[in-house]
Amino acid sequence: MEIIASLKDAKKVYTTGDTTITALDSTTIDIHNKELMLIMGPSGSGKTTLLSLIGCVIYPTEGKVIIQGEDITGYTEKKLAGIRLHHISFIFQHFNLLSPLNALENVMQPLLLKGEAHAEAREKAINALERVNMGDRQKSLPRKLSGGQKQRVAIARALVTNAQIVLCDEPTASLDTKSAALVMNDLKELARNGKAVVVVTHDLRLRQFADRIIYVEDGIVSDHLKNEEDYK
Ligand code: ADP
Ligand code: MG
């Protein structure tokens, strides 16, 4: 295992008017490749904030974010966008597929954005869809797919690029238990094949899929669960 990303005393404070909220208190963690890490916590605890820091979507108020050895503190928005494009894939609760595009076109999208040739992008996308058992649904539009199938297309889209970091925010929240298990197994497979996979969830049942679990409660990260009742 290697360290792919780190937070070093990273903290996020939001100020709106005269109220300040510490969304995430000072946090130090390492993210490894070949590992599926779960970030668990009740609603409002700071999970998305933590994921957004790792994903270079927001800047820390204090501390550092390091991606593949690069300290991104002080980077311009443009440079950060470049880091996201090359190192990070995102998977969300609502799949975020482009509705006018079929499954294949959705998966090709990040490759075309990176400037790859159409034929090459197509081949890689077909390959990725096959890896998540969606090879026979290339031509399907998102609205013709079930929630679980849409999420597998989203996983294929995360898989086509060489991004080492796959960040998932509540990826199973819209799915039934069986589809959720399929999606989690696909994500685990990504980790086994070398990616650093981070999954944010408030669903304690997902713990069985994790290689490592951290808990966020009231903006404070720890390696143990304080109060199971908060998750109900
Ligand atoms: P979770 O993902 O665990 O539900 P979040 O990270 O979204 O939690 O939010 C943590 C806390 O930070 C919450 O109190 C939330 O209201 C606050 N927060 C999140 N984003 C913002 C923002 N952009 N502006 C102000 N407050 C925010
Ligand atoms: Mg959230």
With a 6 Å cutoff on the Cβ, whether 133 touches ligand 1 is no
| C-alpha closest to that of 97 among 8, 157, 174 | 157
Mutate to test the pocket of ligand 1, among 13, 19, 48, 214 (most ligand atoms within 8 A of CB): 48
pTM score of the predicted model: 0.92
Q: Is the pLDDT of residue 79 over 90?
A: yes
Mutate to test the pocket of ligand 1, among 13, 14, 170, 199 (most ligand atoms within 8 A of CB): 14
| Ligand 1 atom showing the smallest separation from residue 216 Cα | 3
Homologous superfamily of 31-57+75-225: P-loop containing nucleotide triphosphate hydrolases (3.40.50.300)
Q: What is the DSSP letter of 220?
A: E
With a 6 Å cutoff on the Cβ, whether 196 touches ligand 1 is no
Mutate to test the pocket of ligand 1, among 19, 21, 27 (most ligand atoms within 8 A of CB): 21
The whole-number average pLDDT for the span 48-73 is 95
50, 56, 71, 103, 197 from 80: Cα distances, Å: 16, 6, 11, 28, 20
With a 6 Å cutoff on the Cβ, whether 21 touches ligand 1 is yes
- Other CB atoms within a 10 A radius of the CB of residue 154 amount to 27
Q: Is the pLDDT of residue 114 over 90?
A: no
**∠ Cα 119 103 169 (to 5°):** 115
With a 6 Å cutoff on the Cβ, whether 217 touches ligand 1 is no
Ligand 2 mean position to 70 CA, how many Å?
26
pLDDT higher at 76 or 114 = 76
4 confidence band (pLDDT: 50, 70, 90): very high
Q: Is the pLDDT of residue 139 over 80?
A: yes
Phi-psi sector, 219: left (phi>0), alpha (psi -120 to 50), beta: left
Q: So what's the pLDDT on residue 97?
A: 94
With a 6 Å cutoff on the Cβ, whether 227 touches ligand 1 is no
Ligand 2 mean position to 59 CA, how many Å?
17
The whole-number average pLDDT for the span 132-147 is 96
Q: So what's the pLDDT on residue 10?
A: 98
| Ligand 1 atom showing the smallest separation from residue 43 Cα | 4
